[in-house]
Amino acid sequence: MASKWVPSEDFIRDLCFSMTPAQCIGMELYALISDFDVDEGVAMETEKKAELVRLLKVLPPVEFCCVYGSALHPNNSDKCFTFYLFCREEKILIDFNFLSFATKNLKMNRDHYASWMVHLGGAKLITEVADEIGVGVHFNPFVTWEDKMFKYGVVRMDDLVRDVLNWERFYLSGRLQKPCPVSTNVVAVSFIAFMSSSINISNLLFSFSFPFLEVHILVDNLAMGNLNSVNLRAATSAALLLSPSKFSEENLYAKICSLSYMGDLRMLFAEDKNKVEKIVQGQFELFQTMYKPFLEEYAAKDLLTFSSSAGNQVNFSQDCGLSAASSLVSCLPPTVRGEMALKLGEKKKRSESGQVTREVVISSRKEAAECMQKIVRHRVMVSSARQAVSGLLTAGAVRGVRYLSNKMHKAWKSWI
């Protein structure tokens, strides 16, 4: 049997950014099911597998689906699931008279959407609000099915990939830096899949094991395991740049986890103030497995040293010199480095192969860290604000108030 072809990072980049509208027509939907709570990574019961399959049948056909979350835990009373639905250019599909997910879903599940959006503009308005006001993500909250509550969102794969590789909005990429199946390799596993509406979903359920977690996937048409590694390496570099010369393993993971919350307006009034701490402590071993390759990579470059371990944790010390800081900055996403270069300056450097590269000029490690932090904080602040406004609009008045009150209630409990 022939081995499965695994595309390289270069192939992924070229494919993502060179496709024409005509090539996008055959692309369709990817569904990722998740939950925002901490107890993620538990095995899915057979009964809940069957429940998931039944649920997918009431939505338009999907090509990719995995499930995880605290709602799947047998001892968890939480009954709210969240879907992430990734699709190819929705507007292009509409322009070419192909049914997008929103168009299909409006016909199948009209009640999932805010009534004002359905009556005033339908799928076109839904897309415009997500793009022009939000960050390209449309959510339908408080969808009830078989006595359970669901929330699902639609995202273009192009938008997802750009955010993962470049941190353009640092919205989805931040979530993918946390140790859950969707937030690491799962998204990368099925980047592009051709629609086949004749597939019987109930016959496709199988398990796919990642190094750190068992993941349940419906369809995996094209393995893309390299994609999110770019994001994880960048997150490791950013966290190290913000860390002191000596720190614990838990401190490092907390720094990584906090990247996507820097500047997030929700943290002021609508999120648990201990959220980062709970995520890291609740999934510590998953963080370890997820970031181990990158920590070992930096240790091999003498940028990082593993010191005495305390219990299950390892303590680190790092080189805080300018050369080490430059190495960390070079692993940040291109758009972040570009902004840093505008503020700090850049210089050209010729490699041994003769290739000319541009490097950010760093006069001090502290200056580089503060500059990078300001850039990331601003992106998170803008994205969180835009998505919050978009979310309230797409949820409708009643659902929007309900969703916000639930978030604020959780936040309030963390302060008392």
Residue 92: inside a domain: yes
Region 249-265: mean pLDDT is: 90
Tokens of residue 325, six digits: 């800081």
Residue 214: inside a domain: no
- What is the CATH classification number for the domain harbouring 71? 3.30.460
pLDDT tens by residue, 96-117: 222 367 778 788 888 888 888 8
- pLDDT for residue 240: 97
Return the higher-pLDDT residue of 171 and 208. Answer: 171
Question: Do 277 and 326 reside in the same domain of the chain?
Answer: no
Question: Do 312 and 328 reside in the same domain of the chain?
Answer: no
- pLDDT for residue 121: 83
Question: Do 190 and 312 reside in the same domain of the chain?
Answer: no
The DSSP line for 185-243 is IIHHH-S--B--TT--GGG--EEEEETTEEEEES--SS--TTHHHHHHHHHHHHHHHTS
- How many other C-beta atoms are found inside a 10 Å radius of the C-beta of residue 144? 11
Query: Model-level pTM greater than 0.85?
Result: no
Question: Do 64 and 155 reside in the same domain of the chain?
Answer: yes
- pLDDT for residue 52: 62
Rounded distance between C-alpha atoms, residue 14 and residue 18, angstroms: 6
Q: Show the domain range for 129.
A: 42-194
| Residue 266: C-alpha distances to residues 27, 168, 183, 256, 389 (Å) | 34, 20, 20, 18, 12
Rounded distance between C-alpha atoms, residue 289 and residue 338, angstroms: 31
Is 338 exposed, middle or buried, given 0-12, 13-18 or 19+ CB atoms closer than 10 A?
middle
Return the higher-pLDDT residue of 118 and 179. Answer: 118
Question: Do 255 and 303 reside in the same domain of the chain?
Answer: yes
Q: Which residue has the tokens 């996008």?
A: 24
**Under 8 Å between Cβ of 313 and 249:** yes
Q: What are residue 65's DSSP bridge partners?
A: 31
Residue 304 CB contacts under 8 Å (≥ 6 apart), including other chains: 240, 295, 298, 316, 317, 318, 319
Whether 237 shows a pLDDT value over 90: the answer reads yes
H or E segment and range at residue 401: helix 397-415
Whether 276 shows a pLDDT value over 60: the answer reads yes
**Overall domain count for the chain:** 3
Tokens of residue 174, six digits: 């931040």
Residue 350: inside a domain: yes
Residue 248: inside a domain: yes
Question: Do 54 and 159 reside in the same domain of the chain?
Answer: yes
Domain boundary (194, 211, 231) is at 194
Residue 380: inside a domain: no
Question: Do 273 and 130 reside in the same domain of the chain?
Answer: no
**Under 8 Å between Cβ of 163 and 175:** no
Q: Which residue has the tokens 């609740």?
A: 282
- pLDDT for residue 403: 59
